[in-house]
Amino acid sequence: MTAPTGKQLDTLREVVNIGIGKAASILNGMLESHIELEVPSIIMFDPENPGEELPDVSCNDLSSVQLDFHGPFSGSSALVFPSESVGKLVTALTGEEPGSEGFDEETTGTLYEVGNILINAVMGSIANLLAVQIDFLPPNYKEGKFSDLIKLKDSKEDLASLLIRANFNVQEPLISGNIFLVFELDSFGELLTAIDNL
Amino acid sequence: MAKILVIDDAKFTRTMLKRMITEFGHESIEAENGREGLEKITSEDPDLVLTDILMPEMDGTELLSLLRETNMDVKVIVISANIQDTIRDQCMNLGVSEFFGKPPDKEKLKKAIEGILAKEEQDS
């Protein structure tokens, strides 16, 4: 793989930033609360052993909605919440309280659709900016530890990936979450070409 | 009062759209995918259809293509999480009246629905 230049990484970070901004704007409208965003970080990443690069997501109690994508470049995108944020998010969106009848079913369905909306906002903005079409597989909802959630489908076990991470925090109710984009390195050249064409 | 069919596999979105449609003063009926939606278009004869694109069994673009092939004269608004320009163009080429990203802005959706229904009434 050709190593990305500083300029390409800068552009990639900004393209992702615009996509995250679009997703935050949607979440802001849904929750009617301010969303704080952090600048996306770009990390070379081993999906089998995320602990070193991502020490704060090494807990085992995470919920995630994941969409795999294919097109000029391939990979996976995920919206990841610590479990304590999930209940607050679902209550804020549906009015259902944890422990009420049907709350678990409501949680899965709501996270599935919220993840679908927010991830598509990010990836759709990126695709529009780069003038490419990205196709998605239907979303998956998963619970567990980070290394299981973020594993790429069909990828070789030892294949390193390029991971882009953006953290966000909702002010009221207090909800934290992460959006992860994992690009398979064998398709990363196509992404850099699209960036160079901007 | 118009009868509006909402086709979406996500209960969360069906509930949100049903609430908006009721607030706009119309009746809402539901389907969970394109195939069920097609059956309800035939059996219920809705005045307007709001449909998602990515759904199991039959997705939104298959439904739109079938409606076009069979000359079924029902107006359609697409409401999709997939906001890529290419998807929007594909839907517009299949004859949809409006395209909204999810979740739709309530006032803009109301304006679009009322505009389509008014034009339908004028033409009939």
Q: In A, which residues are within 8 Å of B103 by CB distance?
A: 26, 29-30, 117
What residue in A sits closest to B83 (Cα-Cα)?
A124
Distance (Å) of CA A179 to CA A1, A17, A80, B92 = 25, 11, 6, 30
- Percent of chain A that is helix, strand, coil (3-state, to 5): 45, 25, 30
Domains defined along chain B, listed by start: 3-123 (3.40.50.2300)
| Contact yes or no for B85 and A128 at CB 8 A | yes
pLDDT of residue B77: 98
Count the domains in chain A: 1
- Residue A20 belongs to some domain of the structure: yes
Q: CB–CB of B120/A158 below 8 Å?
A: no
* CATH number for position A172: 3.40.1550.10
Within a domain: residue A140? yes
A1 in any annotated domain: no
What ipTM does this complex have? 0.79
Q: What is the pLDDT of residues A74-120, one digit of tens each?
A: 888 999 998 889 999 999 999 888 888 888 888 889 999 999 999 99
Taking an 8 Å cut-off on Cβ atoms, the answer to whether B12 and A30 are in contact is no
How far off is chain A from B124, nearest CA to CA, in Å? 37
Task: Please judge whether B101 and A121 are an interchain contact, meaning their C-beta atoms are less than 8 angstroms apart.
Answer: yes
Sign of CA dihedral B64, B66, B70, B72: negative
Q: What is the pLDDT of residues B7-36, one digit of tens each?
A: 999 899 999 999 999 999 999 999 999 999
Q: Which of A172, A67, A63 is nearest to A121 (CA)?
A: A67
